[in-house]
């Protein structure tokens, strides 16, 4: 499991300077196809393992077709998603980029932005990281379609991980102005934003720091933009003693701050440890 790292010192230097890193190839085309085939059943509520995901933000027949579709912690419902977002490769990369001893999954996202679907608001992941310590995430965002600026790909503000953490944004799904809070943050930081749309072939990825401002515009192209995302935290992360996540504190044991590996498995650790059930 402890294969060689795909990252070089130059990759790490770039991540530290920019707050993100792009790899043109991260998963192979067969894996891309296998994941794409899971989108229809997942959003119809056909869950392979019989378990609901933790968040199911778009359901066929219930929600507007012009909304970006999102499921969180699809790994609990679907083995194809699990095989990618819980991989040692994802864990190793985010841990090495973040200077952690290891990484565990916090939350995955399955994102489906059909042609014409609306934007996702710019935010910082660490604004939502108050319920665990250390309160930092690092993310691997994987493209399942060739992405383009016009097609509503993810966008990063270069260097914005150095601006400090702002509060959570007002509206994540289909906001009127998807950059509203971000522009205010850039103004407070006294900088002119350098926005980078992530244009990669299907199977490519981008890693981002938990403090990097990011979001995505509406899809003005004629085909969908699909992604799977692994939001990771340090392998030694614990629940915060008093701050509560109304969803994720369901997995906290009474009187115990440790994170159970059944729900927050360790993907990779420098000493060779990986949660045992992952590879079964
Ligand atoms: O894919 C997107 O449009 C946004 C995803 C996102 O917010 C994230 O990966 O943190």
pLDDT tens string 132-171: 999 999 999 999 999 999 999 999 999 999 999 999 999 9
Residue in the structure block whose two tokens are 């850039």:
186
Q: How far is the CA of 154 from the centre of ligand 1 (A)?
A: 6
Helix (H) or strand (E) holding 232: strand 225-234
Ordered strands of the 195-197 beta sheet:
120-123, 214-216, 154-157, 195-197
Tokens describing residue 27: 């998963």
Dist CA 243 CA 249 (whole Å): 9
Per-residue pLDDT, 60: 83
Dist CA 136 CA 132 (whole Å): 8
Asked whether 155 lines ligand 1 (CB < 6 A), one says no
Per-residue pLDDT, 128: 98
Q: With 70 as the cut, is the pLDDT of residue 103 above it?
A: yes
Dist CA 23 CA 31 (whole Å): 16
**Residue 125 Cα: closest atom of ligand 1:** 10
Q: Domain 9-279 - what CATH class?
A: mainly beta
Q: How far is the CA of 256 from the centre of ligand 1 (A)?
A: 31
205-232 confidence digits (pLDDT tens): 999 999 999 999 999 999 999 999 999 9
240-255 confidence digits (pLDDT tens): 999 999 999 999 999 9
Give the closest residue (by CA) to ligand 1 atom 1: 154
Residues in a beta bridge with 55: 72
Helices (H), the chain: 9-18, 29-44, 79-85, 88-98, 180-189
All structural domains of the chain with their residue ranges? 9-279
Per-residue pLDDT, 3: 67
Residue 235, Cα to own-chain centre: how many angstroms? Answer: 16
Dist CA 7 CA 96 (whole Å): 8
């Amino acid at each position: 499991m402890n294969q060689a790292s795909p990252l070089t010192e130059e990759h790490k230097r770039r991540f530290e300077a920019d707050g993100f890193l792009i790899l043109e190839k991260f998963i192979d085309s067969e894996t891309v196809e296998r994941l794409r085939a899971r989108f229809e059943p997942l959003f119809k509520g056909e869950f392979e393992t019989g378990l609901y995901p933790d968040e199911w933000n778009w359901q066929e027949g219930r929600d507007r077709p012009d909304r970006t579709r999102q499921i969180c912690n699809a790994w609990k419902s679907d083995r194809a998603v699990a095989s990618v977002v819980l991989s040692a490769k994802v864990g190793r990369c985010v841990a090495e980029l973040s200077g952690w001893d290891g990484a565990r999954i916090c939350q995955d996202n399955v994102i489906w932005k059909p042609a014409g679907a609306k934007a996702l608001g710019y935010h910082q992941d660490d604004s939502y990281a108050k319920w665990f310590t250390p309160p930092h995430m690092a993310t691997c965002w994987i493209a399942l379609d060739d992405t383009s600026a016009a097609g509503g790909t993810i966008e990063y503000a270069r260097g914005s991980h150095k601006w400090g953490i702002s509060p959570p944004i007002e509206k994540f799904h289909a906001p009127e102005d998807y950059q509203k809070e971000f522009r205010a943050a850039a103004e407070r930081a006294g900088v002119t934003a350098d926005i980078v749309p992530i244009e990669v072939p299907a199977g490519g990825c981008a890693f981002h720091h938990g403090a990097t401002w990011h979001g995505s515009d509406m899809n003005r192209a004629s085909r969908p933009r699909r992604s799977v995302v692994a939001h990771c935290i340090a392998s030694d992360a614990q629940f915060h003693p008093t701050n509560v996540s109304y969803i994720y504190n369901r997995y906290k044991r009474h009187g115990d701050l440790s994170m159970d590996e059944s729900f927050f498995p360790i993907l990779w650790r420098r000493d060779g440890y990986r949660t045992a059930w992952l590879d079964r």
